[in-house]
């Protein structure tokens, strides 16, 4: 890294950017309107998150924060298992969720043969009537993303890898994307006023690297790659789990539904989506937009007609 | 997307099922005022323009006074829109693209295109003396401004209902109510101006029309209330709901009707208009609050208020 910085610094500078408050103002006004030709499309990539092998180590969260230079959120005890990240936010683009599904039972019931308060025998004889689910949540990079549809500035785009990316120099913090996202991913930062979320490590992808979270995941719970390949792999994994008796395993977001597109970041789950903090049946808000426009324009015209009718009836 | 895994043998607890999944946008009280100012400016322009074009001699004077007032409310509305952005200095980024699929983009362009003919109409209206040569320009500006004023009134409700937020996402009649309310507010504004200016024929026409519109406005409001009933019941106590209903029916309907029937004095008619505006503001506050008051957030806010669970402090320093 250091040597590359030296090389860049030694490059001949052909032009010096204008400095001063007027040129700053001109740049602020003009630069957002400059356009460049989009890069050539590349094979779509995404994440397949297999929640059955997540161990909740939070390496993905740490790697994401480190690579993207995201600030710490401070230590915040949520009281919810080991989850102190709480939710996806402008400064937490990965969120490991912990779901303790342990049945209530009377504590300290004596076990035959056990002599001390803690023993291996006692542990082995305890009924296994619960489980601990973990899932690393992230932006879903929807194929038809409501946040991208909502964005009035064109800041949110689909990249050449078909991931959803917020251009930080364009976003003006209008929050339309926050309102539109059914997964609660996009968040406006209170620090810079702009919306932020996972970029699917666009910068790393352009350099042929794997996103930081997938690279750091020690159990391959987070898998990255071409999306078609991931879907095949995910279906094979579900078949394998079914064969091993995990009948409840299924994929969430691998194929489109009547109300929502497929997700380029999809999941293997073993319980209802809502248990993981995912909508059971996500709906793209844009499905109702045309009807809303028609109803609204109709109401406006009907009210104007009522106004004119009242004025004429009033004798004008 | 397969939904609903096989039920587990033992009912298990834990998880995130009780939480609101979506993040509420940082749209607060400023947006409620923005909704009101948007309604006043677009409504005033629409009513003034339509009435002036329909019966020039009766409404011309009041309409001439209405355009500058509509421009003032538009400027206040635009200022509130800019200051509600996370980065107000980037407000011009809104004009980078035209996206018909984005209600906010449609609204931005409609407001921009509405502001131009409104400014022309307002400027010509305030010129001292008679300017017959500019009268045609004024009329063209009014006609050109009509579709954009309607677009500016229409987009607000669609913007909120085209979202994933609790309450808003089910509010199919939100746009219908806000647009109808805007025209009612415009009629109330025209009535006030006519009364203050002593335009008796215009006052008579708008008194009757406002009475009708106040009742017509109850139709989309009722449909909207039915749409968001579950969200209202979830976030407001029965007492608050009774209060909100009283504001709608008494403050926004019965009281204005009483004032309209009570007499022609300017003060009474302005009071009727103020009642309609205040009730409209209260309803808009209730609408804006819908996604912000989910059970999960309310619980967290309560814990935060008690000081037991302080809200996280975010800093850039690690």
Could you tell me the fold of the domain covering A33-101+129-283? Alpha-Beta Plaits (3.30.70)
Ramachandran category for residue B108: left, alpha or beta (phi over 0 → left; psi -120 to 50 → alpha): alpha
Q: Among residues 258-277 of chain A, which lie with CB inside 8 Å of chain B?
A: 260, 262, 269-277
* Residue B295: predicted pLDDT: 53
With CB atoms and an 8 Å threshold, state whether A304 touches B92: no
Instruction: Give me the domain span that covers residue B184.
Output: 29-293
Q: What pLDDT score was predicted for residue A101?
A: 87
- Average pLDDT score over residue span A139-157: 97
Contact at CB, A173 and B87, closer than 8 angstroms: yes
The predicted structure's pLDDT at residue A28:
86
**Is B314 domain-assigned?**
no
pLDDT digit string, tens, across residues A264-283: 999 999 999 999 999 999 99
Closest CA to A138 of A209, A232, A58: A58
Number of domains in chain B: 1
The answer to whether residue B43 sits within a structural domain is yes
Q: Is residue B118 included in any domain, yes or no?
A: yes
- Return all residues near B153 (Cβ < 8 A) that are at least 6 apart: A300, B38, B39, B42, B43, B46, B178, B179, B182, B183
Q: Render pLDDT for A197-229 as a digit per residue (tens, 0 to 9).
A: 999 999 999 999 999 999 999 999 999 999 999
Alpha helices in A114-255 (DSSP H): 120-125, 146-150, 176-180, 202-206, 212-216, 227-243
Residue B93 burial by Cβ neighbours in a 10 Å radius (0-12, 13-18, 19+): buried
Structure confidence at residue B202 (pLDDT) = 93
Nearest by CB to residue B162, choosing from A193, A288, A306, is: A288
- Residues of chain B neighbouring A131 (CB-CB closer than 8 A): 12
Amino acid A295: pLDDT: 97
CB A177 within 8 A of CB A147: yes
Query: With contacts defined as CB-CB under 8 Å, which chain B residues touch A187?
Result: 23
Instruction: Return the DSSP state at B249.
Output: I
Q: Which of B164, B176, B60 is nearest to A179 (CA)?
A: B164
Residue B19 has a pLDDT of 87
Contacts of B89 in chain A (CB under 8 A): 28
On whether residue B299 sits in a domain, the answer given is: no
Q: What per-residue confidence (pLDDT) applies to A6?
A: 53
Nearest by CB to residue B91, choosing from A76, A172, A293, is A172
Phi, psi at A202, each rounded to 5°: -55, -40
Euclidean distance between CA atoms A161 and A228, whole angstroms? 12
pLDDT of B306 reads 36
Q: DSSP states of A244-275 as a string? A: TT-TT-EEESSS--SSS--BSEEEEESS-GGG
Check B21 against A278: CB less than 8 A apart: yes
Quick one: pLDDT at residue A202? 96
Ranges of chain B whose pLDDT falls below 50:
1-12, 298, 300-318
Contact A293 B158 (CB under 8 A): yes
pLDDT at position A155 is 96
- What does R_g of chain B's alpha carbons equal in angstroms? 23
Mean pLDDT of A32-61: 94
pLDDT in tens, B258-309: 999 998 899 999 999 999 999 999 999 999 999 876 555 545 444 443 333 3
What are the domain boundaries of chain A? 33-101+129-283, 286-316
ipTM of the complex: 0.88
**Whole-number pLDDT of residue B294:** 57
**How far B129 CA lies from chain A's nearest CA (Å)?**
27
Q: For position B57, what pLDDT does the model report?
A: 85
Q: Which residue of B16, B111, B161 to mutate against A (max A Cβ within 10 Å)?
A: B16
Q: Which tens digits make up the pLDDT trace of A93-147?
A: 999 999 998 776 655 555 555 555 677 887 777 777 788 999 999 999 999 999 9
For residue B193, being part of any structural domain is answered with yes
Q: What is the mean pLDDT of residues A61-74?
A: 95
Distance CA A64, CA A77 (A): 21
- What's the pLDDT at A2? 45
Lowest mean pLDDT among A65-69, A117-121, A160-164, B162-166: A117-121
CA geometry: angle at B312 spanning B310 and B316, to 5°?
Answer: 150
pLDDT beyond 70 at A71: yes
For residue B41, the domain's CATH number is 1.20.1630.10
Put simply, the answer to whether B168 touches A179 (Cβ < 8 Å) is yes
Residues from chain A contacting residue B108 (CB–CB below 8 Å): 152
How near does any CA of chain B get to the CA of A73, in Å? 5
Stretch A153-164: mean pLDDT, rounded?
96
For residue B307, the model assigns a pLDDT of 33
Q: Which of A28, A271, A297 sits opposite B5 (nearest CB)?
A: A271
Contact A176 B25 (CB under 8 A): yes
């Amino acid at each position: 890294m250091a040597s590359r910085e030296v090389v860049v610094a030694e490059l001949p500078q052909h032009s010096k950017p204008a400095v001063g408050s007027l040129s700053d103002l001109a740049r602020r006004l003009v630069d957002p309107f400059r356009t460049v030709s989009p890069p050539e499309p590349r094979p779509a990539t995404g994440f397949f998150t297999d929640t059955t092998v997540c161990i909740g180590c939070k390496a993905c969260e740490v790697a994401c924060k480190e690579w993207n230079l995201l600030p710490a959120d401070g230590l915040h005890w949520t009281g919810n298992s080991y989850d102190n990240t709480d939710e996806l936010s402008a400064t937490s683009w990965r969120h490991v969720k912990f779901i303790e599904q342990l049945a209530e039972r009377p504590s300290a019931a004596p076990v035959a043969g056990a002599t001390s308060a803690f023993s291996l025998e006692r542990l082995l004889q305890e009924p296994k009537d619960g489980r601990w689910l973990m899932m690393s949540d992230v932006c879903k990079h929807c194929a038809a993303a409501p946040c991208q549809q909502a964005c009035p500035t064109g800041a949110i785009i689909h990249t050449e890898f078909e991931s959803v990316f917020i251009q930080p120099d364009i976003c003006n913090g209008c929050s339309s994307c926050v309102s539109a996202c059914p997964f609660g991913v996009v968040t406006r930062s209170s620090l810079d006023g702009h919306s932020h979320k996972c970029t699917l490590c666009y910068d790393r992808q352009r350099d042929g690297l794997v996103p930081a979270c997938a690279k750091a995941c020690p159990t391959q719970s987070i898998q990255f790659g071409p999306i078609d390949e991931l879907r095949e792999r995910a279906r094979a994994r579900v078949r394998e789990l079914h064969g091993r008796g995990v009948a409840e395993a299924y994929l969430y977001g691998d194929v489109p539904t009547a109300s929502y597109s497929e997700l380029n970041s999809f999941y293997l789950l073993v319980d209802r989506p809502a248990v993981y903090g995912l909508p059971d049946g996500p709906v793209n808000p844009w499905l109702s937009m045309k009807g809303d426009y028609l109803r609204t324009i109709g109401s406006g015209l009907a009210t104007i007609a009522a106004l004119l009718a009242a004025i004429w009836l009033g004798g004008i | 997307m397969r939904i609903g895994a096989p039920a587990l043998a033992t009912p298990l607890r834990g998880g995130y099922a009780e939480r609101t999944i979506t993040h509420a946008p940082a749209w607060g009280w400023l947006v409620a005022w923005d909704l009101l100012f948007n309604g006043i400016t677009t409504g005033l322009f629409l009513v003034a323009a339509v009435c002036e074009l329909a019966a020039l001699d009766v409404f011309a004077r009041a309409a001439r006074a209405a355009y500058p007032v509509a421009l003032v409310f538009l400027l206040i509305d635009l200022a509130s829109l800019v200051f509600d952005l996370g980065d107000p200095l980037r407000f011009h980024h809104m004009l980078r693209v035209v996206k018909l699929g984005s209600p906010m983009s449609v609204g931005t362009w409609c407001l921009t295109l509405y502001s131009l003919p409104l400014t022309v109409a307002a400027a010509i209206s305030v010129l001292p003396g008679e300017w017959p040569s500019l009268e045609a320009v004024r009329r063209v500006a009014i006609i050109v401004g009509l579709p954009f004023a309607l677009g500016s009134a229409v987009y607000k409700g669609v913007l909120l209902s085209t979202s994933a937020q609790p309450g808003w996402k089910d509010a199919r009649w939100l746009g219908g109510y806000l647009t109808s309310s805007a025209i009612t507010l415009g009629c109330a504004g025209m009535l006030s101006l006519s009364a203050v200016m002593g335009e008796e024929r215009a006052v008579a026409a708008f008194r009757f029309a406002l009475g009708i519109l106040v009742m017509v406005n109850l139709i989309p409001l009722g449909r909207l209330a039915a749409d968001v009933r579950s969200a209202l019941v979830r976030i407001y106590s029965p007492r608050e709901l009774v209060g909100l209903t009283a504001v709608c029916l008494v403050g926004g309907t019965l009281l204005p009707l009483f004032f309209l029937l009570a007499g022609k004095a300017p003060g009474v008619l302005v009071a009727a208009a103020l009642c309609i505006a205040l009730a409209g503001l209260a309803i808009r506050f209730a609408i804006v609050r819908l996604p912000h008051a989910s059970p999960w957030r309310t619980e967290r806010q309560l814990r935060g208020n008690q000081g037991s669970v302080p809200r996280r402090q975010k800093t850039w320093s690690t």
